[in-house]
Structure 1
Amino acid sequence: MTAFNRTALEEVLKKRFFYAPSFQAYGGVAGLYDYGPPGCALQANIIDLWRKHFVLEEEMLEMDGSIMTPAEVLKTSGHVDKFTDWMVKDLKIGEIFRADHLVEAVLETRLDGDKQARKAEAEGSVQPEKNKKEKKKGKIQTAVKLEDSVKADYEEILAKIDNYSGIELGAIIRKHGIKNPETGNDLSDPVEFNLMFESNIGPTGHLKGYLRPETAQGQFLNFKRFLEFNNDKMPFASASIGRSFRNEISPRSGLLRVREFVMAEIEHYVDPNNKDHPRFNEIKDLKLRFLPRVIQDEGKTEPIEITVDEAKIVDNQTLGYFLARIQLFLTKLGIKSDRLRFRQHMLNEMAHYACDCWDAEIQSSYGWIECVGCADRSAYDLTVHSNRTKEKLIVRESLAEPIVYEKTVLEINKKVFGPKLRQHAKSVEEYLTSLNEEQLEALKKSLQDGNGGTKVPGKDGNQYEITNEYLSINRQTFTEHVREYTPNVIEPSFGIGRILYSLIEHVYWTREDDEQRAVLSFPPRVAPFKCLLVPLSNNPAFTDLVADLSKRLRMLSIAIKVDDSSNSIGRRYARNDELGTPFAVTIDFQSVNDGTVTLRERDTTKQIRENVDTILQVLKDLVEENVTWEKVMELYPTFVTQQLE
């Protein structure tokens, strides 16, 4: 098998204008890209399939939120304080790198050099000297055999790369002598960098804002409206597709790490006491390739392949259900299942509020890349926004049988509390009302032990004397006819650009007889253009038939591309193979005489010839994936008269 050639693929994508650096005439800006005609169509088709697979299939409630977000919202969500990556700087020239990505790239390069050296040694050839270098993957690489212990250390670091703190990354950089790969200069210690784009809303500059780093917050803040729209029924899901922005430290991997991108996010709201999914049986026998944290902790990266039902390592049914649905979506797009895995977040990498989190990672020439994140975010988001805004983001559920229970309750004597504490009353009250039952019982005991008095902290950090006059703490009996709860949220989050690029790599190949002839084997449902309409020449005799076929194909909602250039038929087929166009209808002089045309399939280059009505029906069935090309070949004779390739 021919080794994958990323440079050749990038030339095809550039030539066919799938995408290009934004503002290139002005030197461009790293991490910003423009999509050309095939790129736009491919992205739109991926999104369309996503909507059908998730929004329509799961009856989700879709919304389109504002891109500009007030700083207060993102302060509450934790993004202002915690939405950061670790960066290091070249101490001489100031070049910036994301620390974990740099460590990963350098160690992978060294391991690749070790692999070459060991191969050369096994074949009996001379081992390259340390100063003998070769260009590979755009980097200078030395083929040097590593000591076994060093090799094992590198492999363990790579397996745990997402689990390191800034201090730990700094220690790794120093221990293994990691420097700027291009200059060899020393690097600074890692420092945190917030990834959000800051801005101001309005002309005064008083209202601070950010370009949103995700679409989720708008969904959380509209939870009450969603619930009402859904007739107060649980569980349900909201969904949003739109642009998000992250000020990446050092975007260097094309569409995989950009500063502006399209996200598709789902927020599935579920009862925290029942996270089973009603459709779990539909997917329980589907096999996924899981990489749980216990395997990563051992410094290994080989996944285990088991069914979703067998995967007790996944926290709950709903989370497992969405992992399975994610795999079905990605493979339907054309992602190769043997190059797809689900990696569980390491403990240090997982958000503190999350119950469990898995990344759908797709393997490309850049390695394993996270393209979808799927997390159980518990009740964190709705809770913090509710606490900040004082708006109840809860579900009220009538109970068939009332619940009777006892609870420790704090009651503040406002007539004494306010006059005694004066301007400090609010600070102390905020502290007292934040106490849970166990803490209230401890406070009650402290008051008893202190003969009716004790000191408590205010929210301002100072200590204040309180007595039994100020408040009472007692056990009370409650009867509930309505249960109130804050839903937990299962969140699948899709990076459309990353999926798009990974898909391109997975469907790219070259013909055996000519490596210059590239093919993108997109499934018909996502191909930018479904059909090439190609007259044999620009002879006027074909004009009316081309116009009629174009109209009829458009009426069938089949995206077409007409190529009536002066190039040979073979050349025109070849350049549309590079666009990933799965089918081609060819019009020749026989078409004018008897109304028949040929239909060519991209991957096999085989053709059938039938009348126009038959070809249009076959093409419609192929594009809608109601029939396969193999089945078509069984139903109709292969057309071999013309040799056009």
Structure 2
Amino acid sequence: MTTFNRTALEEVLKKRFFYTPSFHIYGGVAGLYDYGPPGCALQANIIDLWRRHFVLEEEMLEMDGSIMTPADVLITSGHVEKFTDWMVRDLETGEIFRADHLIKAVLETRLNGDEQARKAEIVAKSDGNAKSEKGKKKNNKVQAVKLEDSVVADYETTLAQIDNHGGDGLEEIINKYNIKSPETGNDLSKPVEFNLMFESSIGPTGHIKGYLRPETAQGQFLNFKRFLEFNNDKMPFASASIGRSFRNEISPRSGLLRVREFTMAEVEHYVDPKNKNHSRFNEVKDLKLRLLSRGVQEGGKMEPIEITIGEAVEKKIVDNETLGYFLARIYLFLIKLGIKPDRLRFRQHMPNEMAHYACDCWDADIKSSYGWIECVGCADRSAYDLTVHSNRTNEKLVVRESLAEPNVYEKTVLEINKKVFGPKLRQNSKTVEDYLTSLNEEQLEALKKALEDGNGVTKVPGTDGNQYEITNEYLTIKRQTFTEHVREYIPNVIEPSFGIGRILYSLIEHVYWTREGDEQRSVLSFPPRVAPFKCLLVPLSNNPAFTDLVGDLAKRLRKLSIAIKVDDSSNSIGRRYARNDELGTPFAITIDFQSVNDGTVTLRERDTTKQIRENVDTILQVLMNLVEENVTWEKVMETYPTFTQQELD
């Protein structure tokens, strides 16, 4: 097996115009890319498979929301305050790096150097000529880069826990391991927070502040009532959205894996907080996943365990059935797409890494030449988003359920004496009232005690941050009995969120290989359902005798909605096959002089290069079944005789 060569792959992707840096003739802008014809088709096919796998199969309610988002929405959701990464600066050149990524890169490079040193040392010790002058020099070089075992263990523990650190923790690691600016060796600044959203304004006056959305989720939450209505008030259900999102990455690198504009596909599954079971969980409970739990990472390890999702939920490694169900569905989608199972894992977020809204979160990490990359996040967002938007807008984003038996319960409630409250606090009454009405039961009980301890007087903050004095005559806090005939609750949300560009690039790496004995012949083995082009239509030469047959076949293939590429160039058949192998085209129909005489054509399969020869109608039916993945090429080869023809260069 040949060693993976990223440079060679990137050359193929550039040559075949899968994607290219945006505005490249102007020098380009880091983190922005344009997709060419095969890249567009590949992305569209991934999205189509995603829509079939999730939206159609799960009967989700799809929407397309606005990209431009008013600031108030993202202030309420917490993104303005908390959607940040930590960055450091080269103190001499001013170059900026994302702190956690820089630490990872430096420590992994040191560990990789140590691994190479260990291998070289073994070779040197087993070499009979190791005592030669050349051997001595090589061995000295190896010893110079070799790390102590304790240092290796320390590095590995730090890497396992890197996502659990804030700014102070990252600074401590940088100082501890003497991490410098990678190109210059200069000192680095202290880590500082940087908000990742692109700020803008709405309207000609610029008075309405806005942002380009960092995710598609908020538009779905704001339309929750309409979704529930559309679903005839039935729970649980899911909404879904596919579209562009924007994040002003600190230092975009690694091609499509870290960009500033990208396509997301997100699901918001609304569920009763008292019942997070899933009706279809039994369908996936025996599926084995490679899980890297929080506990394993806290122990300084990064080796996942293989366990059924049913057992993982039962042992509370995964919090609930609905979360577990979607982890399994994510796995099935990625495998169907062509991602290799041995290069896929699910990693649980560390406590400090957890998004501000989540109570449990797992990432589907895919391994590429860049290491393990988060490509899908699956979070239990609890009731956070619907709650904060409801509080901010006074719009009740709730589910109402008629109860078979009335529910009688006690609750601590607040009653404001409007006759005293308004006149006493005057222009400050609104800010104090907003604060008081936001308090939960526990906070109301604490306020009641503060009033009792202060002889009926205490101070509270307003929503403007100032302190205001209140007395017993302003309000009453008491326990009250309620009889509930209709249960009202804010649902929790389970959210699978897919980075389409990251998945697309990871897939390309997973399906890339070169022909044995000829590393210049690259192949992209996309599954037929996601391949940019399904079939190459290639006449033996540009002889006019083939023109009508090529035109007729092309027309019939288009009517069957099979994406084709006609290659009637003057290159040899072998070169034309090779060119389309690089595009990942799984099948090729070849038209030759025999086709003109008897109406038969050959069908070639990309990976094996084997062919069958049958009449056009038979070939088209076989091709349809192959493209829809209703039959495998192996089964076709069992059914039809192999046609032998040399591939000429």
Read off the aligned partner of 2:341 and give its amino acid letter. S
Structure 1 residues 557 and 349, CA gap change in structure 2 (3 angstroms): same
Q: Distance in 1 between matches of 2:445 and 2:23?
A: 64
Is 2:370 the partner of 1:366?
A: yes
1:300-323 Cα distance to aligned partner (Å, 9 max, x none): 111000000010300110000000
Q: Find the counterpart in structure 1 of residue 307 from structure 2.
A: 306
- Is the contact made by 2:291 and 2:304 (CA closer than 8 Å) also made in structure 1? yes
1:222-250 Cα distance to aligned partner (Å, 9 max, x none): 11111111111111111110111111111
Read off the aligned partner of 1:66 and give its amino acid letter. S
1:577 counterpart (573, 578, 581): 581
Read off the aligned partner of 2:121 and give its amino acid letter. E
1:428-475 Cα distance to aligned partner (Å, 9 max, x none): 333332333333334444545555x22131415555554443333332
Q: Find the counterpart in structure 2 of residue 405 from structure 1.
A: 409
Is 2:276 the partner of 1:275?
A: yes
Q: Find the counterpart in structure 2 of residue 16 from structure 1.
A: 16
Is 2:636 the partner of 1:635?
A: no
Structure 1 residues 489 and 128, CA gap change in structure 2 (3 angstroms): farther
Q: Distance in 2 between matches of 1:189 and 1:228?
A: 50
Q: Distance in 2 between matches of 1:636 and 1:182?
A: 59
Is 2:50 the partner of 1:50?
A: yes
Read off the aligned partner of 1:556 and give its amino acid letter. L
Structure 1 residues 201 and 127, CA gap change in structure 2 (3 angstroms): farther
- Is the contact made by 1:377 and 1:488 (CA closer than 8 Å) also made in structure 2? yes
Q: Find the counterpart in structure 1 of residue 185 from structure 2.
A: 184
Read off the aligned partner of 1:350 and give its amino acid letter. M
Q: Distance in 2 between matches of 1:449 and 1:292?
A: 46
Read off the aligned partner of 1:268 and give its amino acid letter. H
Q: Find the counterpart in structure 2 of residue 111 from structure 1.
A: 111
Structure 1 residues 610 and 465, CA gap change in structure 2 (3 angstroms): closer
- What displacement does 1:290 show? 0.1
Structure 1 residues 205 and 466, CA gap change in structure 2 (3 angstroms): closer
Segments of structure 2 that go 5 or more residues without pairing to the other structure are none
Q: Find the counterpart in structure 2 of residue 39 from structure 1.
A: 39
- What displacement does 1:143 show? 7.3
- Is the contact made by 1:353 and 1:378 (CA closer than 8 Å) also made in structure 2? yes
- What displacement does 1:127 show? 7.4
Give the fraction of aligned pairs with identical amino acids, expressed as a percent.
85
Structure 1 residues 468 and 111, CA gap change in structure 2 (3 angstroms): closer
- Is the contact made by 2:573 and 2:647 (CA closer than 8 Å) also made in structure 1? no
Q: Distance in 2 between matches of 1:214 and 1:352?
A: 15
Greater alpha carbon shift after TM alignment, 570-579 vs 414-423 = 414-423
Read off the aligned partner of 1:609 and give its amino acid letter. R
- The two structures have a TM-score, normalised by structure 1, of 0.96
The residue correspondences of 1:245-264 to structure 2 (distance < 5 A) are 245-264=246-265
Read off the aligned partner of 1:186 and give its amino acid letter. D
Structure 1 residues 6 and 234, CA gap change in structure 2 (3 angstroms): same
1:457 counterpart (460, 470, 488): 460
The residue correspondences of 1:550-629 to structure 2 (distance < 5 A) are 550-629=554-633
Structure 1 residues 610 and 415, CA gap change in structure 2 (3 angstroms): same
- Is the contact made by 2:82 and 2:356 (CA closer than 8 Å) also made in structure 1? no
Structure 1 residues 462 and 252, CA gap change in structure 2 (3 angstroms): closer
Q: Distance in 2 between matches of 1:447 and 1:246?
A: 47
What is the SS of the residue equivalent to 1:204? Answer: coil
Q: Distance in 1 between matches of 2:204 and 2:640?
A: 68
Q: Find the counterpart in structure 1 of residue 336 from structure 2.
A: 332
1:22-59 Cα distance to aligned partner (Å, 9 max, x none): 11111111111111110000000000000000000011
1:4-32 Cα distance to aligned partner (Å, 9 max, x none): 10000000001101011111111111111
The residue correspondences of 1:190-201 to structure 2 (distance < 5 A) are 190-201=191-202
Q: Distance in 2 between matches of 1:501 and 1:23?
A: 20
- Is the contact made by 1:117 and 1:128 (CA closer than 8 Å) also made in structure 2? no
Read off the aligned partner of 1:397 and give its amino acid letter. E
Is 2:285 the partner of 1:284?
A: yes
- What displacement does 1:176 show? 1.1
Q: Distance in 1 between matches of 2:167 and 2:545?
A: 70
Is 2:321 the partner of 1:317?
A: yes
Structure 1 residues 185 and 529, CA gap change in structure 2 (3 angstroms): same
Read off the aligned partner of 1:395 and give its amino acid letter. V
The residue correspondences of 1:530-549 to structure 2 (distance < 5 A) are 530-549=534-553
Q: Distance in 1 between matches of 2:26 and 2:637?
A: 51
- The two structures have a TM-score, normalised by structure 2, of 0.95
Q: Find the counterpart in structure 2 of residue 204 from structure 1.
A: 205
Structure 1 residues 143 and 631, CA gap change in structure 2 (3 angstroms): farther
Q: Distance in 1 between matches of 2:66 and 2:438?
A: 33
What is the SS of the residue equivalent to 1:391? Answer: coil
Q: Distance in 2 between matches of 1:12 and 1:358?
A: 33
Read off the aligned partner of 1:197 and give its amino acid letter. F
Is 2:351 the partner of 1:350?
A: no
- Is the contact made by 1:339 and 1:362 (CA closer than 8 Å) also made in structure 2? yes
Q: Find the counterpart in structure 2 of residue 219 from structure 1.
A: 220
Q: Distance in 2 between matches of 1:237 and 1:131?
A: 62
Q: Distance in 1 between matches of 2:209 and 2:466?
A: 31
- Is the contact made by 2:380 and 2:495 (CA closer than 8 Å) also made in structure 1? yes
- What displacement does 1:132 show? 6.6
Structure 1 residues 576 and 205, CA gap change in structure 2 (3 angstroms): same
Segments of structure 1 that go 5 or more residues without pairing to the other structure are 134-141
What is the SS of the residue equivalent to 2:473? Answer: coil
What is the SS of the residue equivalent to 2:286? Answer: coil
Count of residues paired in the alignment: 636
- What displacement does 1:292 show? 0.2
Read off the aligned partner of 2:255 and give its amino acid letter. G
1:495-533 Cα distance to aligned partner (Å, 9 max, x none): 000000000000000011211100000000000000000
The residue correspondences of 1:431-510 to structure 2 (distance < 5 A) are 431-448=435-452, 453-459=456-462, 460=464, 464-510=468-514
- Is the contact made by 2:460 and 2:470 (CA closer than 8 Å) also made in structure 1? no
- Is the contact made by 1:120 and 1:127 (CA closer than 8 Å) also made in structure 2? no
What is the SS of the residue equivalent to 2:484? Answer: strand
- Is the contact made by 1:121 and 1:127 (CA closer than 8 Å) also made in structure 2? no
Structure 1 residues 206 and 297, CA gap change in structure 2 (3 angstroms): same
Read off the aligned partner of 1:48 and give its amino acid letter. D
What is the SS of the residue equivalent to 2:571? Answer: coil
Structure 1 residues 472 and 281, CA gap change in structure 2 (3 angstroms): same
Structure 1 residues 484 and 186, CA gap change in structure 2 (3 angstroms): same
Read off the aligned partner of 1:80 and give its amino acid letter. V
- Is the contact made by 1:114 and 1:143 (CA closer than 8 Å) also made in structure 2? no
Q: Find the counterpart in structure 2 of residue 379 from structure 1.
A: 383
Task: State the superposition RMSD in angstroms.
Answer: 1.7
Q: Distance in 2 between matches of 1:354 and 1:632?
A: 49
Q: Distance in 2 between matches of 1:187 and 1:468?
A: 55
Q: Distance in 1 between matches of 2:382 and 2:202?
A: 32
What is the SS of the residue equivalent to 1:309? Answer: helix
